[in-house]
Amino acid sequence: MAQIQILNPDSLGKPLGHYSQITRVKASEFLFIAGQVGCDKDGKAPADFDAQCVKTFENIGKALASQGAGFGNVVEFTTYLVHSQDIPKFMTYRQREFPKLFGGGAYPPNTLLIIDRLVREDFLIEVSAVAAL
Amino acid sequence: MAQIQILNPDSLGKPLGHYSQITRVKASEFLFIAGQVGCDKDGKAPADFDAQCVKTFENIGKALASQGAGFGNVVEFTTYLVHSQDIPKFMTYRQREFPKLFGGGAYPPNTLLIIDRLVREDFLIEVSAVAAL
Amino acid sequence: MAQIQILNPDSLGKPLGHYSQITRVKASEFLFIAGQVGCDKDGKAPADFDAQCVKTFENIGKALASQGAGFGNVVEFTTYLVHSQDIPKFMTYRQREFPKLFGGGAYPPNTLLIIDRLVREDFLIEVSAVAAL
């Protein structure tokens, strides 16, 4: 069983959102999860950014569950958005939903990046994850 | 020796290309390979996107081979393209070449991102990789 | 204690800057450090790119130090810049400062990417890191 510590040392600034600065993890088994997007199994994506956030993290949850893991196993997220106008919406999504997904406010480190485009033009968010078992 | 499982759980959508959703890996030794681009040792890059794809993955193959590893050791790719117009060409490259590089269709997770630019303006693709030994 | 080898195999081109091609690492304990930016604990970021570089790597150094680690523990960097015009300035920063941060020229692999924007419009550079203990 992985020993996962989610850490926010005093020497660094307070995280600018629902993430933490560092994961320290002792583990021999890892999951690398391909970037997940906000679409169903049939490939349909809602037009709405918030709905895509919900589906994206549902998909990550399904990937974790398939290996007997959960959000508490995540050691790192990388989040890609296509429009900078969606940054406040992403913050709002996280503020609303992350306390339900993660126990005790131990949110994993995240790097938030605004890029040109994802594989399909209608995808507005993609999140990749590393987890430890 | 690393135990590497490449997984596509039923609960997630079918991958949109030659990649898989999850790697599950039990290993104590990892390779982190800097983003490779489509140029020779002398720094020359072909102008053609497909030729840059070929060279990029050749370079990753050389990095792996230098440590006695091969494509079967890769646990994660991240692929950066500069032009969204190259997405179909990248899919075509992978469809043509990945079955030769990877045995049995076990393609590692990949996150495909379209960004503004790479370190040199003539670079059209860059791929970073993590492998387990 | 992690066994970290920083490698530049002859079969690959010479790195285009102060980074190396491969880290080979045998470790059971890792740090995943969220992307660090060039601001103080109070959230203030200098307008100057070079000053943001200095603060960004200071912040990574603080994250490492909080776990009893140092730059010699870093196994991978990913660097995001917002303006391609800053690429030469980043190279200059690294050339000047990395020999002080890293012993013996063993610079970790880095993937350098130019993207649209970071979480705040005034951030010009963000660097995420993985380290092994």
Q: What is the pLDDT of residues C76-114, one digit of tens each?
A: 999 999 999 999 999 999 999 999 999 877 999 999 999
* Partner-chain residue, chosen from C21, C28, C114, that has the shortest CB–CB distance to B116: C114
How far is C-alpha A78 from the chain's CA centre? 7
What is each CA distance from C9 to B69, B128, C21, in whole angstroms? 13, 16, 8
* Partner-chain residue, chosen from A15, A25, A111, that has the shortest CB–CB distance to C126: A111
Q: How far apart are CA A37 and CA A49, in angstroms?
A: 11
Helix H, strand E, coil C: the string for C77-91 is EEEEECCHHHHHHHH
**Neighbours of A (≥3 Cβ pairs closer than 8 A)?**
B, C
Would you say residue B13 has pLDDT above 90?
A: no
Radius of gyration of the CA atoms of chain A, in A: 15
Distance from CA of B125 to the nearest CA of C (A): 11
- Helix, strand, coil percentages, rounded to 5, for chain A: 30, 30, 40
Can you tell me the ipTM of this complex?
A: 0.96
Q: How far apart are CA B118 and CA B126, in angstroms?
A: 8
Of B23, B22, B32, B7, the closest CA to residue B130 belongs to B32
Question: Measured between CB atoms, does A133 come within 8 Å of chain C?
Answer: no
Q: Provide the pLDDT for residue C69.
A: 97
Q: How do residues A94-116 score in pLDDT, each as one tens digit?
A: 999 999 999 877 999 999 999 99
Amino acid sitting at position B121: E
Question: Measured between CB atoms, does A28 come within 8 Å of chain C?
Answer: yes
Residue by residue, DSSP assigns A11-25 as TSPPPSSS--SEEEE
Tokens encoding A60:
């990550």
Q: Provide the pLDDT for residue C16.
A: 80
Distance from CA of C18 to the nearest CA of A (A): 23
- Mutant choice from C4, C5, C10, C12 vs B, greatest count of B C-beta within 10 A: C12
Tokens encoding C47:
């307008």
Question: Measured between CB atoms, does C49 come within 8 Å of chain A?
Answer: no
Q: How far apart are CA A96 and CA C94, in angstroms?
A: 40
Chain C, 92-131: which have a CB under 8 Å from a chain B CB? 108-116, 130
* Partner-chain residue, chosen from A11, A13, A22, that has the shortest CB–CB distance to C43: A13
Band (pLDDT 50/70/90 cuts) for residue B117 is: very high
